[in-house]
A and B are shown apart, each in its own frame.
Chain A
Amino acid sequence: MPNFNATARANSLSSPVVNSAAIDYGGRVRILWDEYITVGTETDGTPKDTFTFGAEMIPKGSRIMGCMLQTEDLSAGSRLTLAVGNANPITTAVITTVAGTISVADEIGVVLTASAFPVLTLDNTLGTLSADKYIRLWVKYALD
């Protein structure tokens, strides 16, 4: 029965040893949380509308561990794509008229090559978004 070693495990067994970084082991999981309330004029188009989240950028070198996006009934057929710098997309959420729709990450593990804010892009919508509806987002990341 053969056994195989993943990258960090192989590094720890190599000579000289290659140490793992905090984003691989033991680093603290941090969170960015923010929400946006629609005003009812947001629509796709050229250029597409975007929503930027967070008071501070997620630092360069962070590992993106996942996200969760929740929306109210924005409008049928709306599609939101979330990116954080080179972590693009983290998730592509198709939002319908179902309130409270939760979308989770489509991508994990990406390490940011530059500091960046999470940005949602409104890729598609049938008309404009409904007003006074929330878009809530948290992104988990590890850095140190």
Chain B
Amino acid sequence: MPNFSGVAQANAIAVPPINSMPNTQVGRVRVFYDSYTTIAAEDVTVADTITFGAERIPVGARITNASIQNDGVGGTSAIVSVAVGGVSPIVAADITAAGIDTITTIGLVTTSAGYPTMTFTTLTADMTDGKVIELQLEYVID
């Protein structure tokens, strides 16, 4: 029965060993949260972006979880994709109807510091006024 090692395990048993980073093991999970409320006067179109957060997610952060919760912005198709720090999609979702969508790609590590941005890849009608779009991320840096 052969046995196999993941990258970190192989690094650990290498000679000389290569140490793991905190974003691989024992790092602290941190929170990022922000929300956006739609405004009817701001007509959103395809390729428009919403920028989230008061602070950038640092370079080298591993995104361990992501969620979008929304009230349902209306229309027939409102597909968004979230990117941060040079990596995407963190989470992609159709926010036409209310609901929660969770992380699309696990394990991504930011290649630069950056604010999470949500880009509309499809939008068939203006968003309904007063709908809340929440973005929540979990990341590990240290």
Chain B interface, >50% SS class:
strand
- Inter-chain contact B42/A25, CB cutoff 8 Å: no
B67: interface (CB < 8 Å): yes
Interface size in chain B (residues, C-beta < 8 A): 34
Among residues of A, the one whose C-beta sits closest to the C-beta of B29 is A29
For B48, give its contact among A1, A105, A109 (CB under 8 Å): A1
- Inter-chain contact A29/B134, CB cutoff 8 Å: no
What's the nearest-Cβ distance from chain A to residue B97, in Å?
A: 14
Residues of A within 8 A of B50 (CB): 3-6
Residues of B within 8 A of A20 (CB): 53-55
Residues of B within 8 A of A19 (CB): 54
Contact with B along A129-143 (1 / 0, CB 8 A): 000000000000010
- Inter-chain contact A23/B33, CB cutoff 8 Å: yes
Residues of B within 8 A of A25 (CB): 31-33, 53-55
A47: interface (CB < 8 Å): no
Name which of A8-16, A52-60, A95-103 contacts chain B.
Answer: A8-16
> Which A residues from 26 to 70 make CB contacts under 8 A with B?
26-29, 63, 65-66
Residues of B within 8 A of A3 (CB): 48-51
Contact with A along B21-61 (1 / 0, CB 8 A): 00000001111111111000011110111111111000000
- Inter-chain contact B69/A2, CB cutoff 8 Å: no
When chains A and B are docked, how far (Å) is the Cα of A106 from the Cα of B134? 13
- Inter-chain contact B52/A28, CB cutoff 8 Å: no
When chains A and B are docked, how far (Å) is the Cα of A22 from the Cα of B54? 11
Among residues of B, the one whose C-beta sits closest to the C-beta of A142 is B31
What's the nearest-Cβ distance from chain B to residue A19, in Å?
A: 7
When chains A and B are docked, how far (Å) is the Cα of A28 from the Cα of B35? 19
- Inter-chain contact B32/A4, CB cutoff 8 Å: no
A123: interface (CB < 8 Å): no
When chains A and B are docked, how far (Å) is the Cα of A25 from the Cα of B30? 8
For A109, give its contact among B29, B33, B138 (CB under 8 Å): B33
- Inter-chain contact A24/B54, CB cutoff 8 Å: yes
Chain B residues in the interface with A (C-beta under 8 A)? 28-37, 42-45, 47-55, 65, 67, 69, 100, 102, 115, 133-136, 138
Given contacts A66-B67, A108-B67, A108-B100, 8 further A-B contacts (CB under 8 A): A6-B50, A9-B53, A29-B28, A29-B29, A104-B102, A105-B100, A109-B35, A109-B69
Q: Give 10 CB contacts A-B under 8 Å.
A: A2-B44, A3-B49, A4-B51, A5-B50, A25-B32, A25-B53, A26-B30, A26-B55, A28-B31, A29-B30
